[in-house]
Homo-oligomer: A and B are copies of this chain.
C-alpha cells in the first residue's frame, strides 16, 4: 500500500495531466511532471513507478495512459461514484458543497447534516440537508463510507462517533480538534487556523 504522501502526489499528478490533455500534449518526461508538481524528478519517477505503468526512454510517459493508470489506483473500481456525507453547514460547510461539486464529479456529496432546524429539510446546491438525528439512518441507507466534518470543535468527536457507527471509514476533519478514532478508520485533518498561524510564524522569519 502506497504511503499517504504518495497518494497525495498521485492525485496532484492526475490533475496536472488533465490540464495537459486539454492542451493535447502526448508525452511528458519525469522532470517535466516534477516541475509542474513542485517535487524532485526522483520523487516523480518513484511515484509513477507505483502505478505500474511503464514509460519508455524515448518518449517518457504517455499522458493519457498515465492518467488512466493513476485513476485505476485512486478511483472507486468499476467507474462508479463515491458517496460522501458532509456534517455541519456553517460558513465553511456551505462553501464546501459547491467547491467539491465543481471539482470532483466522482466524489459526490449526497447528503448534508446540521443541528440547526432552520437549515434542515431543505435542498442546497442540489443536496438535501437532514437533521442531525437522522445521520446514522441516512448514512447507512446511502452506503456512505466517507464523511466530512465541518462542525464546531465541541461536537466533532460525537459526530465522528456517529459517522463511524453508521459505516464511515474515512473522515476529512475541518474541526480544529484532533479526533480519537478506532483502528480501521482513516482521518485527514485540515486545521486552517494552525496553517495560518504557521504561515505567519515563518513569514516573520523571512528577510
B172, A184: Cβ atoms closer than 8 Å:
no
* A82 interface residue per 8 A CB criterion: yes
A194, B99: Cβ atoms closer than 8 Å:
no
Please, how many angstroms separate the alpha-carbon atoms of A26 and B38 in the complex?
Answer: 46
B103, A193: Cβ atoms closer than 8 Å:
yes
> Which of chain B's residues have a CB closer than 8 A to the CB of A204?
76, 145, 169-170
> Which of chain B's residues have a CB closer than 8 A to the CB of A205?
1, 186
Residue of B nearest to A12 (CB): B194
Which bracket fits the contact residues of A?
A: 35 or more
Given contacts A99-B91, A178-B37, A180-B38, whether A198 and B4 have CB atoms under 8 Å apart is yes
The smallest C-beta distance from A191 to any residue of chain B, in angstroms, reads 7
> Which of chain B's residues have a CB closer than 8 A to the CB of A82?
200
Please, how many angstroms separate the alpha-carbon atoms of A51 and B169 in the complex?
Answer: 37
* A188 interface residue per 8 A CB criterion: yes
The smallest C-beta distance from A77 to any residue of chain B, in angstroms, reads 8
> Which of chain B's residues have a CB closer than 8 A to the CB of A92?
95, 99
A11 is contacted by which of B73, B172, B179, B194 (Cβ under 8 Å)? B194
A200 is contacted by which of B146, B198, B202 (Cβ under 8 Å)? B146
A91 is contacted by which of B7, B98, B187, B198 (Cβ under 8 Å)? B98
Please, how many angstroms separate the alpha-carbon atoms of A95 and B192 in the complex?
Answer: 12
A198, B7: Cβ atoms closer than 8 Å:
yes
Most chain B Cβ neighbours within 10 Å, of A11, A82, A207: A11
> Which of chain B's residues have a CB closer than 8 A to the CB of A103?
176, 193
Given contacts A1-B205, A95-B91, whether A100 and B200 have CB atoms under 8 Å apart is no
> Which of chain B's residues have a CB closer than 8 A to the CB of A141?
none
> Which of chain B's residues have a CB closer than 8 A to the CB of A179?
38
> What are 7 A-B pairs at a CB distance below 8 A?
A7-B197, A7-B202, A15-B176, A38-B178, A76-B204, A146-B196, A169-B206
